[in-house]
Homo-oligomer: A and B are copies of this chain.
């Protein structure tokens, strides 16, 4: 009846790559659950955040800036359009491209999701005192090549 995850080999426990992967899995689970509880997904937050900072953008630019697959961009945007969070219309100056624009509803939604995301960070970093949380975050940021 129990979940009984076994004990990982010590060989793995000492590898930064393993620890990173374990932490990322846990992080992803927390994030997915927290967003699902308010009827959203990680993709939505990423897209809303990018639109808020970059202003109206094409789907391709959007996808590249948050590292999303083109297909996921298309499908997530369809959802967001359905909820009135963004508008998708052909660019008047270039009829090939779709310009995506954040609506007032979308901006409000983003603010709500910001709160949810802050909660996720708290859960994720719960085992560490505040000073260590900052250290870990700074180290992870420097890890990007």
Residues of A within 8 A of B (CB): 4-17, 19-24, 26-28, 30-31, 46, 49-50, 52-54, 61, 64-67, 114, 117, 120-121, 124-128, 132-133, 135-137, 139-145
Given contacts A7-B65, A66-B8, contact A125 B143 (CB under 8 A): yes
A67 to B3: give the CA distance in the assembly, Å. 11
Chain B positions within 8 Å of A124 at CB level: 16-17, 20, 143
Known pairs A6-B61, A126-B145 / 16 extra A-B pairs, C-beta < 8 Å: A6-B66, A9-B54, A9-B65, A10-B53, A13-B141, A16-B124, A16-B133, A17-B30, A17-B117, A20-B23, A22-B144, A26-B143, A26-B144, A128-B143, A136-B139, A139-B139
Assembled-state Cα–Cα distance A133/B20 (Å) = 13
Are A140 and B12 in contact (CB-based, < 8 A)? Answer: no
State A66–B21 Cα separation when bound (angstroms): 12
Known: A12-B66, A49-B9. A143 touches B114 (CB 8 A): no
Tell me which of A4, A11, A66, A126 has the highest count of chain B C-beta atoms within 10 A of its own C-beta: A11
Q: What are 20 sample pairs from A and B whose C-beta atoms fall under 8 A apart?
A: A5-B64, A9-B46, A9-B52, A10-B53, A11-B53, A11-B114, A13-B141, A14-B137, A16-B27, A16-B124, A17-B30, A19-B140, A19-B141, A20-B27, A21-B28, A23-B143, A26-B144, A125-B143, A128-B139, A135-B135
